Structure 1
Amino acid sequence: MSEQLKLVDRWPEQTTRGHTIPGSRYTAKDFMTQEWEGMWTKVWLLLGREAELPNPGDWQMEEIGTEEVLMVRQKEGDVKAFYNVCQHRGNPLVSESKGTILRRFVCKYHSWAFLPDGTLNFAPDKEDFPEGNPCGKVRLQELRCETFAGFIWVNMDPECQSLKSYLGPIWDDWHARDIQSWQRTMANTMWLPCNWKIVLDNFNESYHVPTVHQGATPDTDRKAIRGHIDTYFKETQFDLSDEGHNRMVMKGGFGVGSTDEAGNILEPLASQLRHWDIDPEDLKGRPEDIREALQAAKRKLGVERGYTHYDKIPDAQFTDAFHYTLFPNFAVSVWSDGFHFLRARPHRDDP
């Protein structure tokens, strides 16, 4: 058996400030400008998924604030990122969100053409330029680009630190996983009439879960486990990193919210137990024992059933919620068999 990744070790202890945040940070245009100039253009941004660019010439364009970033798979296999701007008159090179080029990107203004590596390959009437033929000399403006865990990360700051340094302990948490091979099954994009931080604030805590998702009231015992995840703050592990990221681990798989008054285990939990050769009747009236039973069954049967990555993860990740918030705008929950993530982006000009 491979060495299991120790995800539950605590990160170094951090001191929280605990001061209030003024509402102007969510509404003021001057603060929006400060964020753009001092943060968005300086941090590593998750802008794409490698699996969406399987072949050389495949490209994807993503908007972030006032910029458009063009990511292109190279013939050598790596991914390069450029501003989606023709270097002649500043016209956008592409207007769609993704596609494939057979040879080059052609600007629809003056037909300047750029190869996938950003080099200008063709310009009409090139002999008419006083400075000489621009082909081979002019290039699209390139951004720092790295790939990790199957994601494409881009930084607008040419002097930025490496992605590994930026991610800190998250790099180690994810490095031994096979996240890079996981395939996207669903994606949805929507505009919300609020500041981008409102969305991230919600996914950065579990304080709302008992009320919003479990129907808690002022009379509810918040220490009691009411669903399949224990959201009580004293039972939740919170970790903060020097790099500005955080991790939240909540124990799950209890089944308390999936039983009837007689103690029978309801669907879909019952089917999940049967899938792992556990008879729900054996756990009738014992929802608190479901977590360990599932962990033991997945550990015993997982690899032989094709879940080859199971020998690299701790028992806790078979049932528990491992939630990460990556500064500034990426929230992801990693489970044993997949993940779901949320990415919030700023509007071009409206806070």
Structure 2
Amino acid sequence: MNDSTIIKLKDLPKGAARCPGAPSTQDIIAADKVAAPGWVRSESYHFMGDEDISKDRYIDADYAKREFKNLWTRTWQFACREEHIPNVGDYHVYDIGPYSFIITRVTETEVRGYYNACLHRGTKLRASGTEGSAEEFKCSFHGWSWNLDGSHKETVCHWDFPHVEPNNFALPQVRVELMWGFVFINMDPDAPSFADYVGAEAKSHFDKWGLEDRSIYLHVVKRLPCNWKLGIDAFLEAYHVIETHPQVAISNADANSQYDTYGEHVNRFISTLGVLSPHLYGQYTEQDIFDQFTIGDATAMGGAAKPKVPQGSTARAEMAVMFRGMFEQASGTDLSKVSDSELLDAFSYTIFPNIFLWPGISLPLVYRFRPDPHDHRKCLYEVFFMKPVAPGTARPMPAEPIRLQDHQSFCEAPGMTEAFGKILDQDTDNLILQQEGLEASAKSGLTLGNYQEIRVRHFERAVDKYVGK
């Protein structure tokens, strides 16, 4: 970039600058053979200022305490999937910080969430990290019990508790809403509905994905040595790709990525794949791009010879044809009307405070981050891999979580591909350096890009709303 280009960029309105000389995400998608739907073709960027973000939120233990009091008690959170509790009596324990809930199916159509504590002397009714099926919830300490609907069933030695009125001793409930196959909870009785919380525009995108028709086939859990918000921030932009993931930059239009915000609680990026990074223009051919992105996939299709990109075509166009056939065969579904963009591209939506939804066909993922209740410098990171349920087939039970030790690579998780495991390792290896660097830094805050890091600013603005600056 020369001096005159820099001067011209400075003259632009704040937030208007885009990667010079590179097509936009929408330009790339517009050239696809199978056109993208409206939710893909939309844009919703808003400049939100350029002041630094205070680093205290990541390093201050008292700030974490305020989050537990003011943020986690007032926001909608993904507690489990409906397939975790398919039958009446099934339950799943969800913890967030010091709080714990029993999520249970009371009837075929109703799911409830109970505070996971006996009303006698406070013992957890079900251990954290457990799930199963029950006809009642009985305390293991003194045997007090509650029915599935939360009503009080038995007080052992009731004669000694004349002051306990069973009708007034039901298990306290948390709010529950079911959406797209997820079970969401909120501790705040006065919070907006989940639909209002995400907003009409974002919900209209989510409604089109069919996530209710997917199931979890791999679930990997690992503790990370960083504040939970640093974990969130690390996945909110593609700006890091060229340095952190150089092996994928050949087929990732990182600097071309599109960033959007929707209301207070939802944001997204679209990062087009099968397209060369602007950082590498002139260094690779369309065949190089195709070979890098599809490495291993050609052999997975019966050991056929590596396909060639015809003259006049592009790696992205040929990848769309190849992947359409692969995914149709793997899922047993007709994808002829699914756009090239939905097949190939990385779509990442965040629902505040801690959920990432990746609805694309090639990256059908969900991320969830939860703070460590005992150490604000650590968090729990979960990756859920989801695949479509073939029409007419029974929904499988979700995969059991694979819990990695702190020192283990994501590549060690059974079922994880080496290529994706390496990407997750690269992402998370940065985080201990960032956590320690923020604590050592003489600078009081983080300086963010106006466009490529707008999701970070949007997310941290929502944190400020609940916790305060």
Which residue of 235, 248, 270 maps to 1:249? 270
Deviation at 1:195, TM superposition (A): 0.8
Does structure 1 residue 115 correspond to structure 2 residue 147? Answer: yes
CA contact (8 A) 2:260 2:269 kept: yes
Number of the residue aligned with 1:289: 314
- TM-score, normalised with respect to structure 1: 0.83
Return closer, same or farther for 1:311/1:57 CA change in 2, 3 Å cut-off: farther
Q: Which amino acid aligns with 1:231?
A: D
- 2:227 match: 195
Aligned equivalent of 1:147: 178
Most deviating of 170-179 and 294-303:
294-303
The CA deviation string for residues 56-82 of structure 1, in whole angstroms up to 9 with x for no partner, is: 111111210111111111223322111
Q: 2:81 aligns with which of 26, 49, 58?
A: 49
* Distance across 1 between alignment mates of 2:224 and 2:351: 21
Give the superposition deviation at 1:29: 2.2
Q: Shift of residue 282 of structure 1?
A: 3.9
Question: What corresponds to 1:178 in structure 2?
Answer: 210
Could you say which residue in structure 2 is the equivalent of 1:38?
Answer: 70
State the partner residue of 1:16: 48
Partner residue in 1 for 2:367: 342
In the TM superposition, 1:1-351 aligns within 5 A as 5-131=37-163, 134-168=165-199, 169-214=201-246, 226-232=249-255, 235-254=256-275, 263=287, 266=291, 269=294, 272=297, 275=301, 280-283=306-309, 289-296=314-321, 308=333, 310=335, 313-336=338-361, 339-351=364-376
Structure 2, unpaired ranges of 5+:
1-34, 377-469
Give the superposition deviation at 1:292: 1.8
**Secondary structure of 1:342's aligned partner:** strand
* Shift of residue 31, structure 1, vs aligned partner: 1.5
Once residues 276 and 58 of structure 2 are traced to their aligned partners in structure 1, the CA distance between those partners, rounded to angstroms, is: 39
Change (3 A) 1:123 1:303: same
RMSD after superposition: 3.3
Deviation at residue 230 of structure 1 after TM alignment:
0.9
Matched AA of 2:251 = H
The letter for the 2-side match of 1:295 is A
Change over 3 Å in CA distance of 1:320–1:24 after alignment to 2: same
Q: Is the contact between residue 211 and residue 359 of structure 2 (CA under 8 Å) also seen in structure 1?
A: no
Cα drift, residue 316 of structure 1: 0.9
Find the aligned partners of 1:48 and 1:329 in 2 and give their Cα distance: 13
Q: If the length of structure 2 is used for normalisation, what is the TM-score?
A: 0.64
TM-superposed CA distance for 1:279, in Å, is 7.5
1:81-113 residue CA offsets vs partner (Å, 9 max, x unmatched): 111011222211111522333410101222111
Pair 303,4 (structure 1): closer, same or farther in 2 beyond 3 Å: farther
CA contact 1:44–1:153 (8 Å) conserved in 2: yes
CA contact (8 A) 2:344 2:362 kept: no
Percent identity reads 25
Aligned counterparts of 2:75 and 2:111: Cα–Cα separation in 1: 18
Whole-Å separation in 1 of the counterparts to 2:271 and 2:286: 27
> Which one-letter code corresponds to 2:359 in the other structure?
V
Relative to structure 1, the CA distance from residue 56 to residue 5 in structure 2 (aligned partners, 3 Å threshold; closer, same or farther) is farther
Give the conservation status (yes or no) of the 8 Å contact 2:36–2:341: no
Runs of at least 5 residues in structure 1 that lack an aligned partner in the other structure: 216-224
- CA distance in structure 1 between the aligned counterparts of 2:203 and 2:113, rounded to whole angstroms: 22
SS of 1:43's equivalent? coil
Q: Which has the higher helix share?
A: 2
Q: How far did residue 211 of structure 1 move?
A: 0.7
| Cα contact 1:253–1:291 (8 A) shared by 2 | yes
Query: Residue 227 of structure 1: CA displacement?
Result: 2.2
Per-residue deviation, 1:270: 6.2
Name the structure 1 match of 2:454. none
Once the 2 structures are TM-superposed, how far is the Cα of residue 137 of structure 1 from its aligned partner? 3.4
Structure 2 counterpart of 1:161, one-letter code = P
Residues 309 and 71 from structure 1, CA distance in 2 versus in 1: closer, same or farther, beyond 3 angstroms? Answer: farther
Per-residue Cα deviation, 1:2-50 (whole angstroms, up to 9, x for no partner)? x975321334442312221222111112221222222111110112111
**Greater shift in the superposed pair: 85-94 or 290-299:** 290-299
**Is contact 1:273–1:294 with CA below 8 Å preserved after alignment?**
no
Q: Tell me the distance in 1 between the aligned counterparts of 2:128 and 2:152.
A: 21
The structure, 1 or 2, with the larger RCO (C-alpha pairs under 8 Å, 6+ apart) is: 2
C-alpha distance in 2, partners of 1:104/1:208?
A: 50
CA distance in structure 2 between the aligned counterparts of 1:184 and 1:39, rounded to whole angstroms: 28
